[in-house]
């Protein structure tokens, strides 16, 4: 199978998972980008780092952060010593919504992965990890 065919299959797979989860995410006023940003806030606190991780333009991240703030899922906190910079922090409600979203997406993913045997699922995970690790090494050079 050619790499282009694999890439298209991967995209279709991702779309199927996210489509299955979108209605539940919408109940919490989230779309898929907003959810992944919310989930990344636990690890990354600065908008530029979030943009890089999520491969989104900085203005899009700013827009999403404002939406998450309006929903009271995150709050901004200025960085001590530099009033121009700020960090993003999850609120207790944001943590709750994030956990619900994780369960929703995991359930949608599990429904599709249930077609694989435990061995195939493990092999799939190992192959993905290998590809992600390899790709990370290529982008850092």
Q: Are 30 and 38 in contact (CB under 8 A)?
A: yes
Give the C-alpha separation, 90 to 73, whole Å. Answer: 6
Domain spans, the chain:
3-114
Render each residue's pLDDT in the chain as its tens digit; 141 residues. Answer: 888 998 899 899 889 888 878 888 999 999 999 999 999 998 999 999 999 999 999 999 999 999 999 999 999 988 777 767 789 999 999 999 999 999 999 998 998 899 999 999 999 999 989 988 887 766 554
Give the C-alpha separation, 76 to 107, whole Å. Answer: 31
Pick from 97, 125, 90: nearest CA to 109? 125
**pLDDT on residue 141:** 43
**pLDDT on residue 139:** 57
The class level of CATH for 3-114 reads mainly alpha
Give the C-alpha separation, 124 to 108, whole Å. Answer: 17
pTM above 0.95, yes or no: no
User: Could you tell me the two tokens for 23?
Assistant: 């209605």
């Amino acid at each position: 199978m050619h790499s282009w065919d694999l890439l298209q299959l991967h995209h279709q797979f991702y779309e199927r998972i996210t489509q299955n989860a979108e209605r539940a995410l919408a109940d919490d006023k989230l779309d898929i980008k907003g959810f992944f940003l919310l989930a990344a806030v636990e690890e990354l606190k600065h908008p530029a780092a979030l943009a890089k991780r999520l491969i989104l333009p900085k203005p899009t991240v700013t827009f999403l952060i404002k939406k998450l703030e309006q929903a009271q899922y995150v709050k901004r906190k200025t960085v001590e010593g530099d009033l121009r910079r700020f960090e993003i922090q999850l609120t207790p409600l944001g943590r709750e919504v994030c956990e619900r979203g994780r369960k929703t997406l995991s359930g949608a993913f599990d429904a599709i992965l249930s077609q694989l045997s435990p061995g195939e699922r493990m092999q799939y995970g190992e192959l993905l990890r290998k590809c992600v690790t390899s790709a990370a090494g290529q982008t850092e050079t």
